[in-house]
Structure 1
Amino acid sequence: MVTTTENNKRIARNTLLLYFRMLFLMIISLYTSRIVLNALGVEDFGIYNVAGGVVAMFSILSGSLSAAISRFITYELGKNNILKLKVIFSSAITIQIGLGIVIVFFAETIGIWFLNTQMNIPIERMVAANWVLQFSIITFIINLISVPYNAVIIAHEKMSAFAYISIFEAIGKLLIAYLITISPIDKLIFYAILMCVVAIAIRLLYGYYCKRHFDECRFHFIWNKQIFQQIFSFAGWNFIGASSAVLRDHGGNIIINLFCGPTVNAARGIAFQVNNAIQGFVSNFMTALNPQITKSYAVKNYTYMMTLIFQGARLSFYMLLLLSLPIIINTHYLLTLWLNTVPEHTVLFVRLVLIFAMSESISGPLITAMLATGNIRNYQIIVGGLQMLNLPISYILLSLGAIPETVLIVAVLISQCCLMARLYMLKKMIKLKIKDYLKKVYFNIITVSIIAIILPICMQERLAENFINFLLSSLICMLCTYLSIYYIGCSYEERKFIYNKFLILKSKITHK
């Protein structure tokens, strides 16, 4: 039987692999974003984000099923039930193909109608926007059918596959950034085509890897009524939570377009590029951690599962805080340094989206634990219902003349309400002790954050914006955050573990 120590080592190894992947992609992404923004222009960059967002809205139909497929594959692998795993995989492919056909129908009818009659897009760019919509549909369907393959890779914890294939992805994005600057046709249309081609190539690589390494990844058309009922029953209730998140993110982007236009969509798009680069580090950690939470529940190792939930929540937040604080403090200078053209509203959008990401990060392990139980009806009704409030509240406030950033302010406040609801529900579902969570996670990270931010804010008010002061400010931010995490955020056992690892590393370096 696999020991807890071996599981922890696997989590650490997979997280490290995913970190190298993310660091590589982040550098490429930030560089190419600048080139793409300058090549397309602010307006076309905003049109690409909002037209793609129309297609992303249809993930309301797919998100819940994708989560269900990932949960069932990981759960059966945790129980080492290979025969059932093969049936679930083939059933999942069949479901995704059927769903893809449904989504294409709605995207080509409702999606086209909405884009051409309701969106705030200049008339001379409508043809280009429609081309973006078409290639976004193709990309979406390819990603949809690939969900079971990616779920198998994550369930087997073979994170090296993501790291290696990312090299190809990064090269593809660099090539795109160069090609659109010399495009012989409309740059926005050409950009949409190239992004679609790269997405298809990456998905084919993942599919090839799975078929070569995992026996269960052999698709045979299966109509297993019992499996379908289990997956759809799980997905049916998960639909509430999945759709509420889609409405919050992509629906928020669309109502910003309705009230503010594509230029503000560009500002929001840039903010989310920064967020994706930073949050990717936490996503990688959770990608490595999630299978262990689900597998621990499957084998009824609840003590280890609780340890993973508490430590995972704190570490997710700490990683985001360490990376986000220098950006929040120096947002204006960084955007000026990174982009030649900084759209209005971008500074506040960046700060708010990073705060929102930190707010959401501590809920990640709780959501994984909830999905692992499979008993999600009441949870989704309450938490999903709260998240559904994002769109109507934002719409009302924008219609009353609120600033565009209000959409993210509302998201942060509702995120905290959802966290409290999750704790209440999981108390009943997995016997989670709310007092322990509040003490060891919630109040812990609040204290760490307050202490970490005091000195950087005081110093920033006295420093002029230049590269030397930016480096000084970032160093102070990271040092204050690290010391606050080490002495306040970590328990005695965790500090001792970190110190021993430091001594081992120091000894290796010295002997070399």
Structure 2
Amino acid sequence: MSLTENNKRIAKNTLMLYFRMLLIMGISLYTSRVVLNTLGVEDFGIYNVVGGFVTMFGFLNSAMASATQRFLAFEIGRNDIRQLRNVFSMSVNIHFIIAFAIFIFAEIIGLWFVNTQLTIPHERMQAARWVYQFSIMALMVNMVSVPYNAIIIAHERMNVFAWVSIFEVSLKLLIVFMLQWFGFDKLKLYAVLMFAVALTIRIIYGLYCNFKFKESKFRYFWDKTLFKTLMSYAGWNLWGNAAGVIMGQGINILLNIFFGPVVNAARGIAFQVKAAINQFVSNFQMALNPQIIKSYAANDLKYMHQLIFQGAKYSFFLLFTLSLPVLLETQFILKLWLKIVPEYTVIFTRLVIINILVDCISGPLMTAAQASGNIKLYQSIVGGLLILNLPISYLFLKLGFTPEVTLYIAIVISIIALIARLRIISPLVNLDIFSYLKAVLFRIIPVSVLGIVLPTILYLLMQESIFRFLSIGMLTLISLAITIYYVGLNQTEQKFMVFKAKQLLQKLRYQ
């Protein structure tokens, strides 16, 4: 496939994923508000901490998911259909084994932890157990879905992924109304219905893959060599994913132990805002990642490096443009969105947005490491850095610091992890560090400094209102568009933007 066709496919898939994201984001923000007000702050916090604790058991699954997607995309890049079929069948077998192992562990160790260690009011403990059990079942369903999701993404069928995701979030919207229709304990009912949604989506993905992709028709296949290859790769991913999960949900549990479920509710809302904003970048990188892996498999490192540079830079520009108005107007947005704004929600929201601005630059580097297959050193060092969040946060909380200190620590560690990723990945894919700095960091830093000036001045001069919020959004868009064009883009990219703008104007003129 030519370079032009690859770029067109990336653009087409990105647009489809953005269409999906805008619908999902709108529905998700509405459902979050209604669920918070329907359940109440305490029950919302209980669901967040118990459901989040269950996701910690998914670190095995996350490790294997990365391995599955990498090897499937790699074999597609090599055009080896027979091996592609073998990889898919083996990955299904492994995911079933992992699901069973996690179920046993969760019912023994996990249930003990929920019953004895979490800070949950006695009268809501039974409801918390319902949340735990149905969250475990939903996790197991999602585990066995991973190979099917991975084959869709590896084939770059983002339209299917988009439509199914839209259907999924629509079902979750229906749940919001069902919570108000029935008199049953709302926290218990919410857990049951969320499991039902996970099961429904699993069936849809399975049926589609069986119908569209010959290699996804499961057959019993076992190959010791392939098993060892997949598990060896997943084994090192395991450390990195475990570190990420511990960093996220481990901190959530610490906050529950030190401050109770109300702080978990605030953190849960902040992370929903983070997820909504981060969708803009994750959709772009989801469309980009298969091409990074396939270009490495085809030994086209020049194109791979171009994708890494542009992916990191464009991800930051996109996320910064969207997040700057939210950073400035966090309090106003939360009051407009939620009837109830738990304490610490504003500061949590601002800090998690700053954190994802740092992390989004690392996305293409992570994919490059996965593509190389040589992830031992990468996962060891980066995973080790990320896991430091937990002991350092515990120390600061023990010393009496306020909850937001955990996010300040996370931001500092994310910056250190970015430096470590660059140093480790450079020799793996023959990536010149200075070229990366010149193409990415030396572009985004001046754009950030210059682009923030005018919106901040407007924020300080005007009184809080919907008019100020809209004005800041418009000024941010204009200010950053000019700054990105003249400072963030090189000459080739500027010419390409002008060419595309002229093409668009010509099309509009002749319509």
Using the size of structure 2 for normalisation, the TM-score is: 0.98
Shift in Å at residue 511 of structure 1? 2.0
Residue 422 (structure 2) aligns with: 423
In the other structure, the counterpart of 2:275 is 276
Structure 1, residues 55-94: CA drift from partner, whole Å, max 9, x if none?
Answer: 1111222221111111111111110111011111111010
Identity among equivalent positions (%) equals: 51
Q: Separation in 1 of the partners of 2:203 and 2:486?
A: 47
Letter in 1 for 2:331: H
- 1:442-461 correspondence runs (5 A): 442-461=441-460
Deviation of 1:460 (Å): 0.9
Deviations 1:68-121 (A, max 9, x none): 111111111110111011111111010000110100011111111111100011
Alignment correspondent of 1:357: 356
5+ residue gaps, structure 2, are: none
2:110 corresponds to which residue?
Answer: 111
Is the partner of 2:340 in helix, strand or coil? coil
- Looking at structure 2, the residues matched to 182 and 352 of structure 1 have their Cα atoms a distance apart, in angstroms, of 37
Once residues 418 and 303 of structure 2 are traced to their aligned partners in structure 1, the CA distance between those partners, rounded to angstroms, is: 22
8 A Cα contact 2:59 2:241, kept in partner? yes
Say whether residues 1:135 and 2:129 are aligned partners: no
Contact 2:362 2:418 in 1 (8 A): yes
1:15 corresponding residue in structure 2? 14
Q: Secondary structure at the match of 1:216?
A: helix
Answering whether residue 60 of structure 2 is matched by residue 61 of structure 1, we say yes
Q: Say if 1:390 and 1:414, in contact at 8 Å, map to a contact too.
A: yes
Instruction: Say if 2:332 and 2:464, in contact at 8 Å, map to a contact too.
Output: yes
The CA distance in 1 between the partners of 2:469 and 2:429, in whole Å, is 46
Note the C-alpha offset of 1:22: 0.3
Contact persistence 1:50–1:265 (CA under 8 A): yes
Q: 1:245: Cα distance to partner?
A: 0.6
Q: Give me the whole-angstrom Cα distance separating, in 2, the residues matched to 1:233 and 1:348.
A: 41
1:388 maps to amino acid: I
Residue 22 of structure 1 aligns to which amino acid in structure 2?
A: M
2:46 aligned partner: 47
- Aligned pairs (5 A) from 1:59-458: 59-458=58-457
Q: CA deviation at 1:502?
A: 1.5
Q: Over aligned residue pairs, what C-alpha RMSD do you find?
A: 1.0
Distance 1:18 1:429 in 2: 30
Listed as ranges, the gaps of 5+ residues in structure 1 are none
Distance in 2, matches of 1:167 and 1:242, equals: 27
Which string of whole-angstrom CA distances, capped at 9 and with x for unpartnered residues, describes residues 188-232 of structure 1?
Answer: 111111111112111211111111110100111222101100001
CA distance in structure 1 between the aligned counterparts of 2:198 and 2:323, rounded to whole angstroms: 28
- CA displacement at 1:382 relative to structure 2: 1.4
How far apart are 1:443 and its partner, in Å?
2.4
SS state at 2:461 partner: coil
| Matched-pair contact (CA < 8 Å) for 2:153–2:161 | no
Number of residue equivalences: 511
Report the equivalent of 1:38: 37
Per-residue CA shift, 1:278-335, capped at 9, x if unaligned?
Answer: 1111111111100000000101000000000000000111111111111001000000
Cα distance in 2 for residues equivalent to 1:183 and 1:285: 40
What is the letter of the counterpart of residue 472 of structure 1? S
AA matched with 2:38: A
**Matched AA of 2:474:** L
Check whether the contact 1:370–1:426 (CA below 8 A) recurs between aligned residues.
yes
User: Following the alignment from structure 1 to structure 2, what is the Cα–Cα distance between the partners of residues 495 and 180?
Assistant: 51
Q: Equivalents in 2 of 1:26, 1:134: separation in Å?
A: 28
Of stretches 375-384 and 164-173 in structure 1, the one that deviates more from structure 2 is 164-173
What's the counterpart of residue 468 of structure 2? 469
Q: Is the 8 A contact 1:326 1:478 kept in 2?
A: no
What is the Cα deviation at residue 166 of structure 1? 2.6
**Partner Cα distance (2:220, 2:405) in 1:** 47
Give distance in 1, aligned partners of 2:483 and 2:390. Answer: 36
Answer yes or no: is the 8 Å Cα contact 2:14–2:284 preserved in 1.
yes
1-side partners of 2:173 and 2:506: how far apart? Answer: 40
Q: State the one-letter code of the partner of 1:315.
A: Y
Moved over 6 A (4+): none
> In structure 1, what residue type is equivalent to 2:47?
Y
What one-letter code is carried by the residue in structure 2 that aligns with 1:481?
L
Tell me if the contact between 1:238 and 1:376 (Cα under 8 Å) persists in the aligned partners: yes
Q: State the alpha-carbon separation in 1 of the partners of residues 488 and 416 from structure 2.
A: 23
Contact 1:51/1:115 (<8 A) preserved = yes
What's the secondary structure of 1:465's corresponding residue? Answer: coil
For residues 119-153 of structure 1, give each alpha carbon's deviation from its aligned partner in whole angstroms, at most 9, with x where no partner exists.
01111111111100111101111111111101100
Which residue number in structure 2 is paired with residue 488 of structure 1? 487
Please give the alpha-carbon distance, in whole angstroms, between the structure 2 residues aligned to 1:469 and 1:381: 47
Deviation at 1:444, TM superposition (A): 1.4
Conservation of the 8 A alpha-carbon contact between 1:88 and 1:227:
yes
Contact 1:58 1:107 in 2 (8 A): yes
- Native 8 Å contact 2:77 2:294 kept in 1: yes
